[in-house]
Amino acid sequence: MRRSRRVSGVGWELEGLVALYEPDAVLAFPPGRLTIGTTAIRKVYEELLATNPRFQGDPQPAVQNGDLALTSTRIPSGATVEVARRQPDGTWRWLIDQPSILSE
């Protein structure tokens, strides 16, 4: 599983974010809630992106075991953690996402 060395940016594209997830993925956001499935995840990101958030961090090397991978990113306030699964076409999508998001 390949990841970029650094992540930082604004102006994220909604469909690009949603495409990172499996159809029945679980996103632990907003804080204290679980958002399940890409329809609900799309709504959460649609609302979040309207606030012009800032995402920043330093992705760590993925830990892979077969078709599963644990990904994480160090961020100023701690870390994010995701579990990804290899898809039949060889791409990877998150099935569990525990994010930390910074907004200014």
Q: Identify the pLDDT of residue 13.
A: 85
**Across 19-23, average pLDDT:** 96
Report d(CA 48, CA 59) in Å as an integer.
21
The domains found in the chain, sorted by start residue, are 7-98 (3.10.450.50)
Read off the pLDDT of each residue in 1-17 and give the average, rounded to a whole number.
58
What residues are paired with 86 via a beta bridge?
A: 92
Span 22-76, pLDDT tens digits: 999 999 998 889 999 999 999 999 998 888 887 788 999 999 999 999 999 998 8
pLDDT tier at 3 (50, 70, 90 boundaries)?
very low
Residues 42 and 35: their CA atoms lie apart, in Å, by 10
CA dist 23 and 7 (Å) reads: 24
Question: Does residue 81 register a pLDDT over 70?
Answer: yes
What's the confidence (pLDDT) of residue 53? 80
Q: Over 4-20, what HEC string results?
A: CCCEEECCCCHHHHHCC
Q: What burial class does residue 82 get, using C-beta atoms within 10 Å of its C-beta: 0-12 exposed, 13-18 middle, 19+ buried?
A: buried
Residues 7 and 4: their CA atoms lie apart, in Å, by 7
1 pLDDT band, cuts 50/70/90, is: low
